[in-house]
Structure 1
């Protein structure tokens, strides 16, 4: 029988399947987002914007953008959380390069792509949070704020996204930004409503 984590109640096998599912759902979500040329918020949003503007792959930029946040995660949220987040970010960076090789859309409506991205990635992040992991970056800060103040992580991310999308209006077409906002709202509402401090807390 696999050993159970003393704080989360999850065994090692539980964590492996939960984190794997979270990464897989997030990977499909990001692929749908970039297929229709939309952007998103949080650290992934920064990576998407930089990727569009420079031509570098999302996976590479996403991995590099997250590096500064690992020190904060290790100091405030513990070694286990930091290691799981590092693994999750690394695997998602690889997965976003592989998924396009096996999943190609002849047509994907931008609004549907935005909603699907928000739903899939939101569920993926929930799975990661509930197994004491994250996709790094702002997720680390949001969880830290939630665990210390009780202010929902989803609302923290939504505030940051508002600022990011405000800047995006100067870089992208208004239609692209508006569809992207829909995806971000879906994602963050899923986190805000379903990830409660009294149920699951990153420790």
Structure 2
């Protein structure tokens, strides 16, 4: 349902909890699928996946650590509420990505299907979080800042960042792995680009 810019309606606490909770779960599930087929992604999660593969530390630990510096930027530019919600979301995602493998394993999963499933799930998950004034932190914070300041779409900002990350990945991983991973990143960012419009949905 669209909300008029002249009559904004603030989300209730329970609406925020369910929206952010659903977003975190879908993002965690998408990332579990991605790492199960040995693929990469862009954004801060992509940096964490690459760091996890290279160092041997788990994705959850690396994702939490890499996000820490971005909370300062989020607090200064987007406020305490956004920062707290993002911190909670990142922490929960880090925990979920550690526990999901305990209850869900894939015997067979085509890389292309895994990449598309990842992009769709995480894209929808991030939309739910954006609409409840949260994020997965990191480069997503920068993308939202750019969109709010200049009008340049957050999805396009993330595509540019992804291009830089995947350009580096070509030097570190086999070409098929990077290409399948790029497919997932494109799906994810297109979901955000075509569906995230603050002028159509402004409830916070």
> TM class, shorter-chain normalised?
over 0.9
Query: TM-score, normalised to structure 1's length?
Result: 0.95
Aligned residue for 2:4? none
Aligned residue for 1:3? none
Aligned residue for 2:145? 144
Return the alpha-carbon distance in structure 2 between the equivalents of residues 67 and 202 of structure 1: 27
Is the CA contact 1:146–1:197 (under 8 Å) kept in the aligned structure 2? no
SS at match of 1:133: coil
Return the alpha-carbon distance in structure 2 between the equivalents of residues 99 and 80 of structure 1: 28
Aligned residue for 2:81? 80
Aligned residue for 1:19? 20
SS at match of 1:91: helix
Is the CA contact 2:10–2:203 (under 8 Å) kept in the aligned structure 1? no
Is the CA contact 2:34–2:115 (under 8 Å) kept in the aligned structure 1? yes
Is there any run of 5+ residues in structure 2 with no aligned partner, and where?
Answer: 1-6
Give deviations 1:142-186, integer Å, cap 9, x for gaps: 001111111110000000000100110000000000000000000
Q: Is the aligned partner of 1:46 residue 2:47?
A: yes
Aligned residue for 1:89? 90
SS at match of 2:68: helix
Aligned residue for 1:29? 30
Is the CA contact 1:125–1:135 (under 8 Å) kept in the aligned structure 2? yes
1:197 deviation in Å?
2.9
Judged with a 3 Å threshold, the aligned counterparts in structure 2 of structure 1 residues 39 and 95 are, in CA distance, closer, same or farther, namely: same
1:196 deviation in Å?
1.0
Q: Is the aligned partner of 1:100 residue 2:101?
A: yes
Alignment length, in residue pairs? 198
User: Which one scores higher on RCO, CA 8 angstroms, separation ≥ 6?
Assistant: 2
Return the alpha-carbon distance in structure 1 between the equivalents of residues 84 and 66 of structure 2: 16
Q: Is the aligned partner of 1:194 residue 2:162?
A: no
1:7 deviation in Å?
6.1
Is there any run of 5+ residues in structure 1 with no aligned partner, and where?
Answer: 1-5
Deviates more, 1:40-49 or 1:145-154: 145-154
SS at match of 1:135: coil
CA RMSD in angstroms comes to 1.4
Return the alpha-carbon distance in structure 2 between the equivalents of residues 141 and 154 of structure 1: 11
